[in-house]
A = this chain, B = another copy of it.
């Protein structure tokens, strides 16, 4: 499947955004995938770069997942180090910002979902079904 192709069915949307290391701009996925539940963004930040402002959210909690790079993350007055494998959940009212202090690009994913919206989760929300494999 080539980058920017899209396949859609009744119950799904498939896209391909390519290698995350090749991202040239922040890529928001909700409209591309027709998600009704989450806005996910894929980002790459150059060595030494920082997000140019602090921000809060009105309704959405955010979860940041750092895939590559090292830096700092600040929420309100707390500043801490982050690196590959760091996962930061920030409540709507948390004032947040981050920067990349490493000499490689920082690659990270941000998941926005509406605070307090989750009811069941993990395997408890799933049901196993019988389907014939097509591969």
Contacts and interface: CB of A to CB of B under 8 A. Distances in A.
Interface of A: 1, 3, 7, 9-20, 28-30, 32-41, 53-61, 63, 65, 67, 72-91, 93-97, 99, 109, 111-122, 125-135
A122 B61 contact: no
Contacts of A20: 67, 84-85
A133 B74 contact: yes
15 contacts: A11-B90, A11-B93, A11-B94, A12-B90, A14-B88, A16-B83, A17-B85, A30-B121, A36-B116, A37-B115, A37-B116, A38-B61, A55-B126, A57-B127, A111-B111
How many copies the complex holds: the figure is 2
